[in-house]
């Protein structure tokens, strides 16, 4: 009987892993920090402007440089926190609403969504290496090569 139980548990864990379900005991991060390259002069950004940047309604910074927003994957708890904290005024407080917005933009030929990275580290590296890039990472993420900017209401 224990062999069957072990086999069932092993198959269950394998099925969860294959379907993308994460099995861990650490709670997901619920916050985010907005980041830009370390040499970027930006120190703060208004919440409304940040939403407009990520919806590509605002495409150039105050210095005229083209902005390159970068999102995290749709399953990321950091993306959920960012969407709820920043995009709510645009009526897009849920990731599904943001995805619907981008489907409409793509279908109508009006734009493409920001690039997507799968981890804080990938976002950090992209932002550090891409002029005009702006992204978000978890509250405890490594900030080597980037800096956090203040989000103002």
- Per-residue pLDDT band for 51 (boundaries 50, 70, 90) equals very high
Is residue 22 one of the residues assigned to a domain?
no
Domain count, the chain: 1
Is residue 11 one of the residues assigned to a domain?
no
Q: What is the CATH number of the domain that holds 39?
A: 3.40.190.10
Is residue 10 one of the residues assigned to a domain?
no
Residue 80 to residue 76: CA distance in whole angstroms: 7
- Spell out the residues 6+ positions from residue 118 whose beta carbon is closer than 8 angstroms to its own: 72, 73, 76
Range of the domain at 110: 28-152
Give me the pLDDT at residue 17, please. 40
Is residue 54 one of the residues assigned to a domain?
yes
Is residue 50 one of the residues assigned to a domain?
yes
Give me the pLDDT at residue 88, please. 79
- Per-residue pLDDT band for 30 (boundaries 50, 70, 90) equals low
Is residue 96 one of the residues assigned to a domain?
yes
Is residue 16 one of the residues assigned to a domain?
no
pLDDT per residue as tens digits for the range 83-132 = 999 987 777 768 888 899 999 999 999 999 999 999 999 999 999 999 99
Of 66, 76, 57, 86, the C-alpha closest to 123 is 76
DSSP label of 6: H
């Amino acid at each position: 009987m224990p062999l069957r139980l072990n086999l069932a548990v092993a198959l269950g864990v394998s099925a969860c892993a294959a379907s993308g379900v994460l099995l861990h005991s650490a709670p997901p991060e619920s916050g985010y920090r907005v980041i830009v390259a370390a040499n970027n002069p930006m120190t703060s950004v208004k919440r409304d402007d940040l939403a407009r940047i990520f919806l590509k309604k605002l495409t150039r910074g105050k210095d005229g440089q083209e902005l390159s927003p970068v999102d995290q994957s749709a399953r990321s708890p950091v993306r959920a926190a960012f969407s709820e904290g920043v995009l709510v005024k645009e009526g897009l407080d849920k990731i599904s609403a943001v995805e619907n917005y981008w489907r409409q933009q793509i279908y109508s030929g009006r734009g493409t969504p920001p690039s997507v990275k799968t981890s804080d580290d990938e976002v950090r590296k992209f932002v550090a290496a891409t002029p005009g890039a702006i992204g978000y990472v978890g509250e405890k993420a490594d900030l080597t090569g980037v800096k956090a900017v203040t989000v103002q209401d």
